[in-house]
Amino acid sequence: MHDTWSGKVLGLLVGDTALVTGQYKEEDMGHEYDGITEYDNDLPPWWKYGFYFTIVFAIGYMAYYHVADAGQLQLAEYETEMRQASLMVSADADDPNKLTTYTALTAPADLSAGKALFVTNCAPCHGANAEGKVGPNLTDEYWLHGGEINKVYKTIKFGIPSKGMVAWKGKLAGKQMLQVASYIESLQGSKPANAKEPQGEKEAPAKTIAAR
């Protein structure tokens, strides 16, 4: 009775696990090595069922995602989630996706304050004269993250963690960050000694401003 499929199913209900574990034939193949004897036993049915399932799943996956284009692949799903997340971000001063509308400060007192802040906080990476060290040269026309004053302000405020640029939000006040950005803008074209090679995209001098 248990040799048929239905019989094995009924047997499983009463405790016979042959349908899942298979039957051991104990048929010696005559192969022995290092005390290990080979028997002619099939793979366990549960293993074969699992393998068959992966084949069916792969065919269904291919048909659903690549043939019918009914579902989103990983990249498309990620982009959709990012668009949805952007709708939930508040459009206030702490929103990194929203640029400010500041203009550069030009008063001597602001530029002097900006210089003092730069020397204390920025010079270790950008050099005393913004010539560039670990960080990029801030006196040329090339910018990695935009040289317009508000883009520079954004970079100073939120940083670029992936490149080692720390965020100064919470460490410097808003006006102090603008003073630093304005000071760097005043250094455009100053051509300091030992200036680092240009990095990033070239921008018109009118747009070049500060820290990247």
Q: What is the pLDDT of residues 81-109, one digit of tens each?
A: 887 776 655 556 677 878 888 999 999 99
Q: Which helix (DSSP H) or strand (DSSP E) does residue 174 occupy? A: helix 174-186
Amino acid at 18: A
Q: Are 72 and 80 in contact (CB under 8 A)?
A: yes
Task: Indicate whether this model's pTM tops 0.85.
Answer: no
pLDDT-based confidence at 23, cuts 50/70/90?
A: low
Q: Is the pLDDT of residue 5 over 90?
A: no
* pLDDT for position 211: 38
Which residue segments constitute the domains of the chain, with CATH numbers given?
108-202 (1.10.760.10)
Outline where DSSP puts E strands in the chain.
28-33, 36-39, 142-143, 201-202
* pLDDT for position 73: 87
Distance CA 99, CA 78 (A): 24
Beta-bridge partners for 201: 143
pLDDT-based confidence at 117, cuts 50/70/90?
A: very high
Distance CA 5, CA 7 (A): 5
Q: Are 182 and 105 in contact (CB under 8 A)?
A: yes
The predicted model gives 69-80 an average pLDDT of 87
Distance CA 175, CA 104 (A): 11
Distance CA 197, CA 121 (A): 22
165 SS3 class: strand
Q: Is the pLDDT of residue 11 over 50?
A: yes
